Structure 1
Amino acid sequence: MEIQGKVIAVLAPREGTSKTGNPWKVQEYVIETEEQYPKKMCFEIFGNDRISQFASMLVVGNTVKVSFDIDARQWNDRWFNSIRAWKVELPMQEPMAEIPPQAIPEPFPPAQPEAAATGESTDDLPF
C-alpha cells in the first residue's frame, strides 16, 4: 500500500535486544495527508540500516510517499496493528504546465493627422 503526506512528527527511536541476543532498532513517524479532510498515520521503520537510509527524507515538513505493509499481532488477548514502511521516497514534482502567451491586442490605429488639421472628420459619429 502507498500513502502520500507531510511529515508532522519524528518520534524517538526505540532499541532493544531480541531473545536470541540480536540488537534491534525501530523508529516511528507521523504523516498527515493533504486532502480536504486530512488523515494522520503513524508508521514505523525497522532496522538501523533502513532508518539511516530514509533519515534525510523523513524530516518534519517534507512531503513523502510511503510504501508500507499492515499486519496485526496478538498479545495478552489484545490485537495491535503494525504499519511498517519498506520504502520512502520524495514524490515526483509534476512539471509546471507551460502557459501559452496571451494574445497581445493590436494597438488602436494611429490618429489621422491630415484629417485633424483640415477639420474634416472621417467618422460617422454625430458628436
Structure 2
Amino acid sequence: MDFKGVIKKVLPANSGTKNGKSWISQDFVIEEVGQRYNQSIVFNVFGQERIDSFQLAEGLMVTVQLDFNTNEWQGKFYNRVTCFNVIHEGAKTTQQTQFANTGSQSTPQQAAPQQAVPQQQGQSDDLPF
C-alpha cells in the first residue's frame, strides 16, 4: 500500500542480537496531508542498510510503500506495519530504492528516474489530483 505524507516523528532506533547476528530497526510516524481528517501511521524500517538508504527525517514529504502483517500471541492479535520502499517527493526526479531479498541478504536496486512531463504554455490544469 502506498501512503503519502510528511514524516512527523523519527523514533529512537532499537537494536539487539539474535543467534549471534546483530540487528537494528527504527520506527517513524507519517501523517497524511491535504485530507479533511488526516491519518497517521507508525511504520518500521528494519536493517541499517535500509535505514541509511531511505534517508528519512522529520518534515520530509514522502510516499512510503507499506506491508501489513498480523501476529497472534496468547490469544491477542497485533499489527506490524513495515516499509519496503520510499519515494522522496519534491525532487526534480523521483528516486526509488527497492530491496529484493536474495536468500538472507538484501541488495539495493536503483530504479530509473522518471522525468516530469512539461506543461504547454497558456494551458492550465485544473484537475483536483
TM-score of the pair, normalised by structure 1 = 0.69
In 2, the alpha carbon distance for the partners of 1:45 and 1:82 equals 11
Number of equivalent positions: 98
Q: Which runs of 4+ in 1 moved over 4 A?
A: 92-99
User: Cα deviation per residue 1:28-48 (whole Å; 9 max; x = unaligned)?
Assistant: 000100111100000000011
Bigger fraction of residues in helix = 1
**Quick check: 2:6–2:60 contact (8 Å CA) kept in 1?**
yes
> How far apart are 1:22 and its partner, in Å?
1.1
SS of the equivalent of 2:45 reads strand
RMSD after superposition: 2.1
User: In 2 relative to 1, CA 36–59 (structure 1 residues): closer, same or farther, beyond 3 Å?
Assistant: same
From 83, 89, 92, give the equivalent of 1:91: 89
Q: Which is bigger in relative contact order (C-alpha 8 A, separation at least 6)? A: 1
Q: 1:100 aligns with which of 122, 126, 129?
A: 122
Unmatched segments (≥5 aa) in structure 2: 92-115, 124-129
CA pair 29-96 structure 1, distance change in 2 beyond 3 A:
farther
1:81 to 79, 82, 87: 79
Question: Is the radius of gyration larger for structure 1 or structure 2?
Answer: 1
CA shift, 1:90, in A, is 1.1
Given the alignment of the two structures, is residue 36 of structure 1 paired with residue 36 of structure 2, yes or no?
yes
Change (3 A) 1:97 1:64: same
How many angstroms apart in 2 are the aligned matches of 1:99 and 1:60? 36
CA distance in 2, matches of 1:80, 1:29: 18
What SS class does the counterpart of residue 12 from structure 1 fall into? coil
Which residue number in structure 1 is paired with residue 59 of structure 2? 61
SS for the counterpart of 2:52 is helix
Q: Identical aligned pairs, as a percentage?
A: 28
Find the counterpart in structure 2 of residue 124 from structure 1: none
Between the aligned partners of 2:27 and 2:61, the Cα distance in structure 1 is 16
Going by fraction, where is strand more abundant, 1 or 2? 2
Q: Retained in 1: the 8 A contact 2:61–2:90?
A: no
